[in-house]
Structure 1
Amino acid sequence: MSDRLTERLNAILPKITSSDFLGGQGIGNEIPFYVFDYPAEDELRIREHLAFLDNKLPKQAPDLKVVHVNLYDFLIDYIKGRGYFEKSLEKERTLGSAKAVKSIKSIASAEKLADHFYNEVMTGEPGLVLVSGVGSSYPIIRTHELLNNLHRHMGLTPLVMFYPGVYDKITLKLFGKASLAFDSSSTDRKRKARYYRAFRLID
């Protein structure tokens, strides 16, 4: 298949294993967060390519410690760890999905999830973090909120988020529809929008 998405997918491996990328070259003092956006209908192709990356990276870059975090699995583990999984299932059965989601979000704020992310992922000192499962974990995990709260934890470690939607370097549009500003509550929008800016991994 030789479409544009295939070309972009083929460019990922050489990009994320390059010394310039891993060394943060060309991004100044910005936080090394990257977004690989793609049409939501191509989710299965992305999952296949992520499986390819998980298999290929240890062979091509054996000295690079890579952690792949699926946000849906991460969320389920987080809820189970707090003894809330069965309760949330029961709440969904009796009160409906909306009530269950609201209840889960009360114990799974972006700040708490970012702290858990740090404890589970970053204490192992990875050299690269890949994040997927964005669509599956929505609406409980809002990625722009999670990323904002991860800034204080990530340091210079590159993070690549695979995003089923559109990213125009300013806003995230999940599934190509919902517009989610990275720092929409900022009173100093111009300054903070630049600081919290993520980069498109492959244009």
Structure 2
Amino acid sequence: MNRIISESIESPEIFERLLKIMLSERFLSKKGLTNDLPYFILPYDPRLEVEVTRARDLLVRRLLAKSIDILDLNIYDVCKSILETRGLWDRLLEKEAEIEKSQFLETLNSVLDPKKYLVPAIVKQLEECKPAVLLLSGIGEVFPYVRSHALLTNLQSAASNQLTVMFFPGEYTFTPESGATLDVFGLKQDDRFYRAINILQYEV
């Protein structure tokens, strides 16, 4: 079983390894994927959120300096933009204290449905920017009303050829029998996404 929660990106060795992978011609040309889609997971310890955010910002700057076009999306910001555009943000903030938590969660699940709203919003930005690499973060901020496996499953249907790296605050587990499992914050959710690769195990 391949179980990885953190090879700390904030450490210089791991950061340089990640940068080397993402700058490589093999990665950018999507080679060595066999039957997999160009979707990658970077799992990390949720306790290192601040450090990982800082490292990700540096990573983006280093990639841009090498003329690698990056679309860096925080899913929380995308969700907030969707709600504001639909005139729901302020209304939801007002109602949050008045309704049951389960009802509030159900409402968010509906208005931020990945297939209907979230993925189309991401695809719109992809079409406008046409980046070489899409970076996704903020997964912990939108849990549990947006689930990473649902986001990735719907995104692969809409943008199957888009080179994508998701920064994931939790455990990425892979077994040949059951495939890949994503457990945000280390919580056992049984969220399965079979067609993603741990980027730190990608050979360049």
Q: TM-score range by the shorter chain?
A: 0.7 to 0.9
Identity %: 26
- 3-state secondary structure, aligned to 2:73: strand
Alignment pair present for 1:154 and 2:159: yes
One-letter amino acid matched to 1:107: V
Which sits farther off after the overlay, 88-97 or 164-173?
A: 88-97
1:97-147 Cα deviation digits (max 9, x unpaired): 433222122121120211221112344211100011010111111010010
Aligned residues: 187
Please name the residue that 1:188 is paired with.
Answer: none
Please name the residue that 1:125 is paired with.
Answer: 130
Please name the residue that 2:97 is paired with.
Answer: 93
1:45-104 Cα deviation digits (max 9, x unpaired): 1000011012221112x1x21100001111111111111101111110211443322212
User: Runs in 1 of length 4+ with deviation above 2 angstroms?
Assistant: 7-10, 96-101, 120-124, 178-183
TM-score, length basis structure 2: 0.85
Q: CA 1:181 to 1:94, structure 2 compared with 1: closer, same or farther past 3 Å?
A: closer
Q: Is the 8 A contact 2:78 2:121 kept in 1?
A: no
Residue from 141, 144, 167 that aligns with 2:146:
141
One-letter amino acid matched to 1:119: K
1:47 & 1:8 partners in 2: Cα distance?
A: 14
Structure number having the greater helix percentage: 1
2:7 & 2:172 partners in 1: Cα distance?
A: 16
Residue from 22, 28, 32 that aligns with 1:26:
32
Alignment pair present for 1:17 and 2:27: no
Q: CA 1:128 to 1:48, structure 2 compared with 1: closer, same or farther past 3 Å?
A: same
Please name the residue that 2:190 is paired with.
Answer: 180
Cα shift at 1:179: 2.9
1:2-51 Cα deviation digits (max 9, x unpaired): x9522323311111111100111110232100000011111111000011
Residue from 102, 113, 120 that aligns with 1:109:
113
Please name the residue that 2:170 is paired with.
Answer: 165
Which sits farther off after the overlay, 115-124 or 21-30?
A: 115-124
1:90 & 1:130 partners in 2: Cα distance?
A: 32
Alignment pair present for 1:51 and 2:57: yes
What is the alpha-carbon root mean square deviation over aligned residues? 1.7
- 3-state secondary structure, aligned to 2:186: coil
1:103 & 1:118 partners in 2: Cα distance?
A: 23
1:126 & 1:4 partners in 2: Cα distance?
A: 26
Please name the residue that 2:83 is paired with.
Answer: 79
Which sits farther off after the overlay, 98-107 or 74-83?
A: 98-107
Q: Is the 8 A contact 1:36 1:160 kept in 2?
A: yes
2:55 & 2:181 partners in 1: Cα distance?
A: 25
- Structure 1 residues 36-47: aligned runs within 5 Å: 36-47=42-53
- 3-state secondary structure, aligned to 1:202: helix
